[in-house]
Structures are given as C-alpha cells and as structure tokens.
Structure 1
Amino acid sequence: MRSRLTQAIHTRLESRFSEKRLFIRSDAETRFIRLRPSHQLVGWTVATALVGWTIISTAILLMDSIGSDNFRAQAQRDQMIYEARLNALSTERDARAAEAIAAQERFSAALAQISTMQSDLLSTEDQRRELETGLEVVQATLRNTMQQRKAATTELAALNADGEAAATPAAQTAVQEGTVDLLATALAETAAERDQIATDAQFALDHAAETENELRLLHERNDDIFRQLEEAMTVSVEPLEKMFRAAGMNPDNMLAQVRRGYTGNGGPLTPLSFSTMGGGPDPDTARANGILNRLDEINLYRIAAEKAPFDVPVKAAYRFTSGFGSRWGRMHEGTDFAAPIGTPVYATADGVVVHAGWSSGYGRLIKVQHEFGIETRYAHLNAMKVNVGQRVSRGERIGDMGNSGRSTGPHLHYEVRVGGSAVNPMNYIRAGQDVF
C-alpha cells in the first residue's frame, strides 16, 4: 500500500518535474549529477519561499519608511500650526495688555478729574453757605436800620414844632437815607453773587453726571478687555502645564525652581498700583495684576521649556528602530533613531556638556546636563562638535550620527535620565509635540 502511494506521488512529480541529469565533463572523464523530481521540488520550494520572503520584507520596510516620513511630516505641520497659533495669541495678548494699561490710565485720569470737581463743588458749597450767612447778617442789619429810620422819622415829626431844631434832624435824616442806600446796594450785590454760585454749582453737578456716565462706559470696556485677556491667558497656560505633567514633571516645583534663578525686579511685569484716595483695593488693579502674574507664569514656562528636553534630537528623515523598554532580555534605556551616517544630531534642551568622548558600548558619546536634574545622552556618534564644559542651546548641532561602539548599523541611541535613572524619552518628545 505504501509503495503504491509512493509510486503515485513519484509519477505525479515526474509529470511536472521530469528527471534531469547535469553532466560535468573534464579532460579525463565525464560525470553527471542526477536531479530527481523530489530534489527539484525541494529546490523550487526553497526558491519560491526566498522570493516571497524578499517581497514581503521589502514591502514591510517600504511601508515602515513611508509611515515614518508621514508621521514626521505631520508632526512638523502640527508644530508649525501650533507655533503660528501661539505667536498670534502672544501678539493679541500683548495688544490686550497695552489696551488694559491705557484704559487703566484713562480710568485713573477720570478719577482724578472727578476728585477735583468734587473738591471744587465742596468749596463752592462752603462759599454759598458763607454768603447765605452774610446775607442773613445784612438782612438783620437792614431791619435794624429800618426800625431806626422809623424812630428817626417819628422823632423828626415831633421836633418840627420847634423851629430852632429843624436843621439838625434834616441832616440826620440825610445821613440815615445814605446808609440805607449803601446797605441796599450791598444786599443786591450779595444776592447776585449767590445766584451765580448756585448756577455754577448746578453746572458742576450736571458735568459730574456726564463724567460718571463716561466712567461707567469705560469700566464696562475695561471689564471686557480683562475678560478677553484672562481667557487668552487660560488658553496659553493650560497646554504648557499639560505638557510638563505629561512628561512626569511637577509644574509648581518646576516654576518655583525657575523663579529662584530669575529673581530680578522691575520691567513691564511689575505689579500695577493706582491711588484709590484712601479707599479699599481697586478690583481692576487686582485683575490687571492677576493677568500680569499669568504673563509671568507663561514666561517661566517658556524658560523651563527651553531647559527641559522636549525637542527631537534628529531633524532630518529618520525611522524608529527600537524603543524604550526590555529588548532581548535586557533593558534598553533609550530610543533609537536610524538615518544615514553624518545626519546632524541636535541638543534637545539648553544645558552644559559634561562628557564628550569614547565610552564602552556607547561608542562616541555626548552627555548634556540640564536643569531639574535631567541629563540627555547621545551615543554611537560619528563625530562630536562640542567639548566638555561648553554651554549648548536647544536646537544647536552637537554631533553627527554614526555607527561607533556596540551598534548593528548607523543610528542614534538617545537617552533621558532624571536623577540618574533612565526614563522613556518619548514621554518628553510627545509632550513637546502637543505644544510646539
């Protein structure tokens, strides 16, 4: 039974792969190699498998390269869009801050004008009261004079009977009439002055009402400006705070550390202070100072972002070949970026070079010490363009990609260490791509 099955299989193979002989001839003899159908089948199977494997591997590598390039291009487009948005928000923020300061100055000038008008009004009111008091005194004096005149007239009528005394009372009457005329003139002038003071006081009251209306409109405009500024500050600060938290950093501790390094006073972010004439704190001043504090916080975030490794060390086209984590039973403490030899390598944050030389396994290695206890490492380099002790800035070229040390091909081994312990560099890179 088995021989029949074997014979049937052999017959089918011979119909497709007939037996062939390969002759090898030399000067002395001729030899041949018999290629049986089974041998031809094995060879055909192996060749087909090799061709299929080559096609599939080439397709996978091509798709990986295209996907990596698309990811890089999309990340760059997103970064450009967000930078443009951040610049627009910064410009609008500066314009709104200038408007708020100008409006606050106008508000302070209006307050000073109202204070002056109130002082003038109080002075006018005091003068009016003094004139009313003087007028009452004049009226009392006039009443006394009229009574004296009446008494003098009665006395004159009584003395008319005596001819010898007629001249003296006439002279007295003339003097009294002159005094009455003088008092009447003074009374008229006092009444006119009183009317003028009343008119001036009414004008001041009407003008104060108009000024109060303008002040109310100005306050409403200030409130609208403050609200827009506060919204802009919230939109600007929240992504930055989220970026640091996504990288595993505490924003409060980080800002406190940056603030200790930048303790100068003065300049455009100095807290505002406006006189309130002995009153309580001005709400608008408090809001303006709150916005200035948020602006200061954004500046601190900007400084911190330059000192933390949120950037990508390779700007040219590359592909990820190995990530952070366990690999082949060992811990891979960084991320690998593959690209041709000589591809520029850039510092991912401001810092100081603490090592630039050969290191076992790493090959040519550069270590950069940053703020917040962070260190970045750039290994397997072909060339190093910095020296120990040199300060570097974010985006500054520090070396070229290579294949030195224990490496299977041209690539950059990039590490981020916090307090001496390795962390996933992609946490920082992804957090930075969400903002920058």
Structure 2
Amino acid sequence: MLTRVAYRINATLERYIPEQRLFLKSDTETRFIRLRPVTQLVAMTGASMFIAWTIVATAVLMMDSIGAGSSREQAQRQQTMYEERLNALSADRDLRAEEAARAQARFNLALEQVADMQARLLASEDRRRELETGIEVIQSTLRRTMTERDEARGKAEAATLALAQTTGSARTEQGRVQDTVATLDILTEALGQTARERDLMEGAAEKSAERVDEVLAQKRAIEMQNDAIFAKLEEAVTVSMEPLDNMFRDAGLSPDDLLGQIRKGYSGSGGPLSPISLSTSGGQGSVSATRANAILQGLDRMNMYRIAAFKTPFAMPVNTPVRFTSGFGGRSDPFGRGWRRHEGQDLAGSYGAPILATADGVVTYAGWENGYGRLVKIRHDYGIETRYGHLSQIRVNVGDRVSRGDRIGDMGNSGRSTGTHLHYEIRIGGEAINPMTFIKAARDVF
C-alpha cells in the first residue's frame, strides 16, 4: 500500500521535478545514485528552510546591533549634554562667586571711603565750632570795646564842658584833649581791625558750611552706591541659595537640620582675649552694617551648603557612559523567581569602569556578601550610607576615609547578577531610599 502511494507521489512530482541520477565512477566500476522527486523535494525544502533561518537570524542580529548602537549613541548624547550642563553650571557658579568677591571688595572700599569722609566731616564740624566760638569771643570783645569808646568820648566831652565852664576857655587843657582824641583814634582803628577779622571769620565759617554740604552730598552718593551694591549682593545670594534649598528638600533632607549639624561640627574658635571695641556713638549699628552682616550670613550659609553637599551623596557613582536598567522598588526577578523588591538603582556599563564615592565618608565594609558579590559600604554624615555592589575589584579597605570622587572599585558582574553593572544603594537611618532622588535633585545645581 505504502509502495503504491509513494509511486503515485513520485509519478505526480516527476512532471515538475524529473528524476536525477548521480553517477559515481571508480577505477573498476561505475555506480549511480537515483534521486527520486520526493527525495529532491525533501532536500530542496530543507535547504530552503536553512536559508530562511539564516536570513531571519542575520536580520535579528543586525536589528540588535543597530538597536545597541542607537542606545549607545543616545547614552553618549545624554552624557555629553549632562557634561555641558555641568560645565555651564560650574562656569555660572564661578562667575557668581567672582561677582560676589568683586562686590565684597567694592563694599570694603566704599566702607573705607565712608569712614574717611566721616572723619573729615567730624574734623570740619570741630573747626566750624571753633570758628563759631572765636567769632562769639571777637563779637563780645568788639561790643565791650565800643562801649568803652563811647564812655571815653562821653567823659572827654564832659571834661571839656566842665573846663569851659570853669576857666571860660578850653585851650588850657588842649594837650590833654588831644591825647584823649589820639587814644580814641587808636581804639577806633583797633575796633575796625577787629571788625574786619570778624568778617573774615564769618566768611571762613560760610566756606566751612559749604564744605560740610559737599561732604554730606558725597556721603549720600556713596550711600546710594552702597545700596546698589548691597542690592546686587542680596540678589546674588538669594538666586544662589534657592536651588540649594530646593536640592536638599527634593532629596528629602531638612536644610535647617543639616546646617545645624554642620555648625556643631565646624564650631572651632579661639585666639587671644581682646577688649570689645564699641561704637563711639554708643548706639546700634548702621543700616549698611546690618545689611552687610545679613549678606555675610548668607555667604556663610552657602559655604555650609557646600560642605553639606560634599558630605551628602549628590554625585554620580560613575563618570563613564552607563544605561539605567533596574530602578528602585518592585520588579520581576531576573532569575525568574517572581516579583521582588529592588532596594537600589542598577547602572549598566563597561567591565572595569571606575566606581567613585559619591560623598565624603568612611569605608565600613569591603568584601564579598551574598547577593551583592563584591561590595563596598561607606558611612557618611547625617546617618547616610551608600552601597556599591557586583564589583569586579575593590580598591579600598575597611576604615579608609574617602572623599567625593575617589575611586573605590571597578564595575563587574560578581554575585547574583546577569551582566556587567553597578548596584547602587542609598540608606538613611538604615532604610533604603531611591538613589535617583539624590541624582535628580543635584542635576540643576552641579
């Protein structure tokens, strides 16, 4: 039955695929292999399937290669944009710092000029008071001299009248009267000279008053210039402080608590005991001094923010191109064991890429741990801990003090891992939080 079916199939296919014979010749004989239509059809079908599989596999490999190339190019573009943003922010921060330094220099110069103008103003006020006192003395002396002159003239006239009534002629006392008249002339000349000196003193006093007005006008101009400088400084401090406040708040940290801890940790002071220099007026400080102190307090707050930023993990743990793979939270286990909690951020990159400390701290663990593979733990201030897992090599030891940006290991594939990547964790008070919260919060500042 099967032979008949095979015969019919071969007879049907022979119309399209004729029977072929493959001759094999040796030294002694010649043989042939009969290739029936069914055999040829099976061979052609197998060859076609092999060729189709080859084409499909090649296409899949090419698509994977193109996709991987696009991902790398996109990662490189993002890295380039991130570096350009960092460079622009660094340049802007340096510019703001330079402007603040120049404004501080201008403020110090303005304070020196104001102090000099105030000293000259006080000297002018003292000279004016001395001139007023001198003028009052001269006026008093002049009034007294004029009174004495009038009295002397009255006495002379009375004596002349009495002599005329007694002798009937005033010529017997002519010499004495002439002496009296001469004395009166001398007194009159002295009084005139005193009056001229008084006029000179009054002119000097008027010039001193004009000079005082000029000094006051210059003082007002300097105060207006200081107001403009203070406004610029206050604006620069406000603009610089706002993104720092937002960065710490976005990361879930209280800026006031952080700054309080920094003040406690950086509170060293000392020096020789010196008496306190109080203001000569005995009153409170000026408005300019108050504003200057406020600006200095803002600069001090910015400096403490800088210290806190270096002690808080706001940096990236790698400086080479990476791809963000598994994020923080729940995920499907890569080894097929259901839904699992993932307490960090995975960053896939090249094998051996440098792994950097994201903040200043002390190494508390450096070795092998189940699940993590080669693991480094760093304890930072404010109860923060960072973990770096699946390393290929560890470059630090327990107890080492590291700074932000120090190389602590190399990226690898150790432990429970499906490929080369870094498992990065941030813990506060022992509880894991999303590392992307810190990374995203710092993008607009660093």
TM-score range, shorter chain: 0.7 to 0.9
Cα gap change, 1:105 to 1:18, in 2 (>3 Å):
farther
Deviation of 1:192 (Å):
2.2
Distance 1:159 1:170, change over 3 A: farther
Match of 1:176 among 177, 180, 183: 180
The match for 1:356 is 366
2:100 aligned with 1:93: yes
1:106-145 matches, within 5 Å, as 106-145=113-152
AA in 2 matched with 1:311: A
The Cα shift of 1:315 comes to 0.9
After superposition, give the CA deviation of every residue in 1:260-301 in whole Å (9 maximum; x if it has no partner). 22224699xxxxx99574555411222222211111111111
Q: CA deviation at 1:372?
A: 1.6
Greater RCO, 1 or 2 (C-alpha within 8 Å, sep 6+): 1
The one of 230, 234, 250 equivalent to 1:226 is 230
Partner of 2:155: 148
Equivalent position to 2:219, from 215, 219, 223: 215
Structure 1 residues 69 and 133, CA gap change in structure 2 (3 angstroms): same
Give the C-alpha shift of residue 231 in structure 1: 1.8
The superposition leaves residues 119-174 of structure 1 with CA deviations (integer Å, 9 ceiling, x where unpaired) of: 221221122122222222212211111111111111222343599xx86x456535
Contact 1:19 1:36 in 2 (8 A): no
| 1:79 is aligned to 2:83 | no
- 1:58 positional shift: 3.2
Q: Distance in 1 between matches of 2:169 and 2:86?
A: 122
Which stretch has the larger CA shift, 425-434 or 388-397? 425-434
Instruction: Give 1:361 deviation, angstroms.
Output: 1.6
Query: SS of 2:415's equivalent?
Result: coil
Q: State yes or no: 1:160 paired with 2:167.
A: yes
TM-score, with length taken from structure 2: 0.82
Helix, strand or coil at the partner of 1:147: helix
**Cα offset, 1:340, TM superposition:** 2.8
Change beyond 3 A, Cα 1:135–1:173: same
Q: Which amino acid aligns with 2:210?
A: D
Q: Distance in 2 between matches of 1:346 and 1:149?
A: 113
Q: RMSD of the alignment, in Å? A: 3.3
Letter of the structure 2 residue corresponding to residue 139 of structure 1: M
Choose 92-101 or 34-43, whichever is displaced more. Answer: 34-43
- What is the alpha-carbon distance in structure 2 between the residues aligned to residue 401 and residue 20 of structure 1? 63
Aligned length: 408
The within-5 A match list for 1:24-39 is 35=42
Q: 1:96 to 1:418 in 2, by over 3 A?
A: same
Structure 1: gaps spanning 5 or more residues: 1-9, 24-29, 268-272
Change (3 A) 1:59 1:372: same
Q: 1:118 Cα shift? A: 1.6
Unaligned 5+ residue runs, structure 2?
1-8, 23-32, 272-276, 333-338
2:76 maps to 69
Q: Tell me the secondary structure at the aligned position of residue 367 of structure 1.
A: strand
Q: What letter corresponds to residue 322 of structure 2 in structure 1?
A: Y
Letter matched to residue 57 of structure 1: D
Following the alignment from structure 2 to structure 1, what is the Cα–Cα distance between the partners of residues 372 and 95?
Answer: 43
Within-5 A mapping of 1:329-348: 329-348=339-358
Instruction: After TM superposition, give the deviation of residue 238 of structure 1 in Å.
Output: 1.5
**Cα distance, 1:96 vs structure 2:** 0.9
The one-letter code sitting in structure 2 at the alignment partner of 1:306 is F
1:323 aligns with 2:327: yes
Quote the offset at 1:209 in angstroms: 1.9
1:187 pairs with one of 191, 197, 200: 191
Residue number among 201, 204, 220 corresponding to 1:200 in the alignment: 204
Residues 389-426 of structure 1: CA deviation (Å, up to 9, x unaligned): 21111111111122222222222111111111111111
The answer on 1:395 being equivalent to 2:409 is no
Is 144-153 or 50-59 further displaced after alignment?
50-59
Identity %: 39
1:314 aligns with 2:318: yes
Deviation at 1:92, TM superposition (A): 1.2
Task: Report what 1:427 is aligned to.
Answer: 437
Match of 1:59 in 2: 66
